[in-house]
Amino acid sequence: MEFELTKKQRDMKDALTQLGKFVIRPMSLQMDREHRVPEDFLQRFVAMAGSMRGSDEDVTAAFEDVKREPPSLDKPSQMNRTSLVGAEELAWADASLLLCLPGPGLGGPPIRGSGTAAQKAKYFGMIKDLEKQGKLAWGAYGLTEPAAGSDVAGIQARCRKDGDGWVINGRKCYITNGARAVWVVIFATVDPALGRAGHRAFVVEKGTPGFSVGKIEDKLGLRASETAELVLEDCRVPAACLLGGEESYAAKSSGFQTAMKTFDATRPLVASMAIGIGRAAYEHARDAVKDRYMLGRPIARYAAIVERLARMHRRLEAARMLTWRAAYMADVGQPNAKEASMSKAAAAQAAVKACVEAIEIVGAEGTIAKEDQLLEKWFRDIKVYDIFEGTGQVQRVVISKRILSDLKSF
Ligand SMILES: Cc1cc2nc3c(=O)[nH]c(=O)nc-3n(C[C@H](O)[C@H](O)[C@H](O)COP(=O)(O)OP(=O)(O)OC[C@H]3O[C@@H](n4cnc5c(N)ncnc54)[C@H](O)[C@@H]3O)c2cc1C
């Protein structure tokens, strides 16, 4: 595995660090309080990202479908690693803002992985066209329901074939960018009794009759990011909205696999975001101990403090290695479900611990909300990283299932 970043990746990382330090962090607390990221900033960011993307096929592929050979050991891609490096740096600056960035978002991977050529062209094209017109456009991913979070197989939203289309009924909750999305990938079942085999995935466009937004959540952290409830009431969609087309569901549980494959791509990404927040907290604590004194000594002279710093740093670095490995495997076309879960489980825990310990090291000041002291905000932002995209427990279930299935062959 190659640890070096390419020059393009280094340049992107440096540009994002500067943007984060001088532009994003100074407005971070205000965005948190106002529950929004200013639209003019997002417009400028989209323009900047567009120019950074340039003709780099690897990065462009992260945003749209690019017809090319699948990656392999001989012809590796850099797409996943590039996304990870960018995600860590932006989350280091402000994780809510990262989730607010326009684009297909979590809806991208299922369309890229399971959509037909026509669906890819239509839904990625829709976002691209709006972007070209100077408008901001988002996609979203609607899987979770009030009674089906970790238990993905237990979704209750129903879909039934009706003439030349489908009718969907159900409720989706906690959907990132759900209210503003121009389309959402919605998972429903033809019959809950069929479990995974009953799952179907649809792309439902904003404005479709019967498709509406419920409440917008008021959250502990990531408060500038929109988290919405979506309601489908006799929502009729054309057959062309069924992701992958009807024949693709002949294989048992392919709808469920679409949801799962999304996680293989997004868990390392979410892990990188967690590492970005954890690193921000660790760096804050590291810098704070240098000029603080207790009993006449700089607190960095106390073994208990430096030991903690070393542990925080070590856990975050180890988590990054796991995360880059999961991305590397995706970039050379190898299955990475176990490694994606390992990276998410390790990164979320390392980062939650880094945020808790950073506040403990800094003391009371770490609990105060200030524009130039964001520990309190990072402490609130980080918790959900051990919950969404699969909780820590669920990652461990995924890992253990893979380990045990390996053992079965002995
Ligand atoms: C800010 C935010 C954004 C989100 N964005 C999206 C989105 O864009 N799209 C989307 O579809 N969803 C989204 N979600 C939902 C998220 O993915 C779920 O919250 C997550 O999957 C956990 O589900 P749950 O909250 O229902 O918890 P539950 O599944 O009810 O879990 C409750 C507890 O039981 C434990 N548990 C469950 N099953 C097991 C098991 N088999 N073994 C051991 N322990 C277990 C869990 O670890 C947890 O501790 C988002 C959530 C949040 C908070």
Residue 323 has pLDDT above 70, yes or no: yes
Residue 62: band (very low, low, confident or very high) from pLDDT cuts 50, 70, 90: very low
Q: Which of 201, 229, 252 is at the close of a domain?
A: 252
Tokens of 85: 């490096």
Q: pLDDT tens-digit profile of 27-45?
A: 999 999 999 999 999 999 9
* Whether residues 285 and 206 fall in one domain: no
Asked if residue 261 and residue 243 are part of one domain, the reply reads: no
pLDDT one-digit tens code per residue, 362-380 = 999 999 999 989 999 999 9
Specify the CATH number for the domain of residue 396.
Answer: 1.20.140.10
Q: Residue 112 falls within a domain, yes or no?
A: no
Question: Is 110 part of any domain?
Answer: no
Assess whether the C-beta atom of 149 lies below 6 angstroms from ligand 1: yes
Whether 173 and 195 map to the same domain: the answer is yes
- Distance between CA 92 and CA 136 in Å, rounded? 23
Q: Which amino acid, 254?
A: S
What's the CA gap between 144 and 229, in Å, rounded? Answer: 10
pLDDT of residue 406: 62
Q: Is 144 in the pocket of ligand 1 (CB under 6 A)?
A: yes
Q: How confident is the model at residue 260 (pLDDT cuts 50, 70, 90)?
A: confident
| Residue 196: per-residue pLDDT | 86
**93 within a domain of the structure (yes/no):** yes
Question: Do residues 332 and 240 share a domain?
Answer: no
Residue 328 near ligand 1, beta carbon < 6 Å: no
Does residue 109 lie in a domain region?
no
Q: Residue of the nearest CA to atom 23 in ligand 1?
A: 149
* 238 and 323 assigned to the same domain: no
Cα(165) to centroid(ligand 1), Å: 31
Top mutation candidate among 144, 213, 219 for ligand 1, by most atoms within 8 Å of CB: 144
Pocket test for ligand 1, best of 391, 393, 396, 401 (most atoms within 8 A of CB): 391
271 part of a folded domain: yes
Q: Is residue 63 part of a domain?
A: yes
Residue 184 pLDDT more than 80? yes
**Does residue 221 fall inside a structural domain?**
yes
Q: Is 205 an active-site residue?
A: no
- Whether 388 is in the pocket of ligand 1, judged by its Cβ within 6 Å, is yes
Assigned domain for 177 exists:
yes
Final residue belonging to a domain, choices 103, 131, 163 = 103
**Angle at CA of residue 94, ends 93 and 96, nearest 5°:** 160
Q: Same domain for 238 and 281?
A: no
pTM given for the model: 0.93
Name which of 272, 367, 371 is nearest 31 in CA terms: 371
Average pLDDT over residues 7-30: 96
- Alpha helices, DSSP H, located in 35-142: 39-53, 57-61, 79-100, 108-114, 117-132
pLDDT at 409: 58
Q: What is the percentage of the chain residues whose pLDDT exceeds 90?
A: 77
For ligand 1, the distance from its centroid to the CA atom of residue 390, given in whole angstroms, is 6
The mean pLDDT of 314-337, rounded to a whole number, is 96
What tokens were used for 158? 């129903």
Confidence of residue 1 (pLDDT cuts 50, 70, 90): confident
- Whether residue 300 sits in one domain with residue 287: yes
Q: How many domains is the chain partitioned into structurally?
A: 3
Would you state the pLDDT for residue 175? 98
What integer pLDDT is reported at residue 101 of this predicted model? Answer: 95
Tell whether 387 and 336 lie within a shared domain: yes
281 and 265 part of one domain: yes
393 lines ligand 1 (CB under 6 A): yes
Euclidean distance between CA atoms 81 and 84, whole angstroms: 5
Domain extent, residue 269, equals 256-408
The pLDDT value recorded for residue 316 is 98
Indicate if 37 and 96 belong to the same structural domain: yes
Q: Is 311 exposed, middle or buried (0-12, 13-18, 19+ CB in 10 A)?
A: middle
Residue 124, domain CATH: 2.40.110.10
Q: Whose CA is nearest to atom 26 of ligand 1?
A: 149
Same-domain pairing of 93 and 137:
no
Among candidate residues 226, 339, 357, 389, the one labeled active-site is: 389
Distance CA 249, CA 215 (A): 32
Is 60 a residue whose pLDDT tops 60? no
282 lines ligand 1 (CB under 6 A): no
- pLDDT tens for each residue of 294-307: 777 788 778 888 99
Same domain? 290 vs 379: yes
**In degrees to the nearest 10, what's the CA dihedral of 235, 201, 99, 178?**
10
222 CB less than 6 Å from ligand 1?
Answer: yes
385 pLDDT tier (thresholds 50, 70, 90) = very high
Mutational pocket test of ligand 1: of 387, 397, 398, 399, the residue with most ligand atoms within 8 Å of the beta carbon: 387
106 Cβ closer than 6 Å to some ligand 1 atom:
yes
pLDDT in tens, 264-320: 889 999 999 999 999 999 999 999 988 887 777 788 778 888 999 999 999 999 999
pLDDT category of residue 338 using cuts at 50, 70 and 90: very high
- The domain that holds 98 is classified in CATH as 1.10.540.10
Q: Which of 252, 282, 298 is at the close of a domain?
A: 252
